[in-house]
Amino acid sequence: MQSDAYIPRRLDDAWKIGLWDVDVAVPALFGFFLGWMSGTKLGFVIAAGLGLYVSRWISRVKSDKHPAYFLHWAYWSLPSNPLTALRATPPSHIRRMVG
């Protein structure tokens, strides 16, 4: 009997794109995509630079905080719609709970 079975060591890790977390990599990738769609070199440089700046800002804000910090921030800061609403929690505009 061979023991080549893969045993995962960490089950609850955040999703990653390469070496970066998804919430840090998406602004940079979106900036590159917008720059590519602009069709000019200057537009690409500006959009890619802005995407990298936002990505770097997010990584600085996220450091030393909970891994789901931006999910919590989005829940409390963004308006409630089908994309940001969570089923098991009350709406974010209800700040005081009785009970």
pLDDT in tens, 5-29: 777 677 777 777 888 888 889 999 9
Mind listing the pLDDT tens digit for each residue in 23-75?
Answer: 889 999 999 999 999 999 999 999 999 999 999 998 888 888 887 787 788 77
Q: Which pLDDT value is given to residue 71?
A: 78
Q: 59 lies in a domain? A: yes
Q: 80 lies in a domain? A: no
Provide the 10 A C-beta neighbour count for residue 65. Answer: 11
CA 99 to chain centre: 33
Do strands 16-17 and 20-21 pair parallel, antiparallel, or not at all (unpaired)?
Answer: antiparallel
Q: 2 lies in a domain? A: no
Whether the CB-CB separation of 30 and 51 falls below 8 Å is answered with yes
Q: 57 lies in a domain? A: yes
Half-sphere exposure of 84 (CA within 13 A, CB side): 15
Q: How many domains does the chain have?
A: 1
The reply to whether the predicted model has a pTM over 0.85 is no
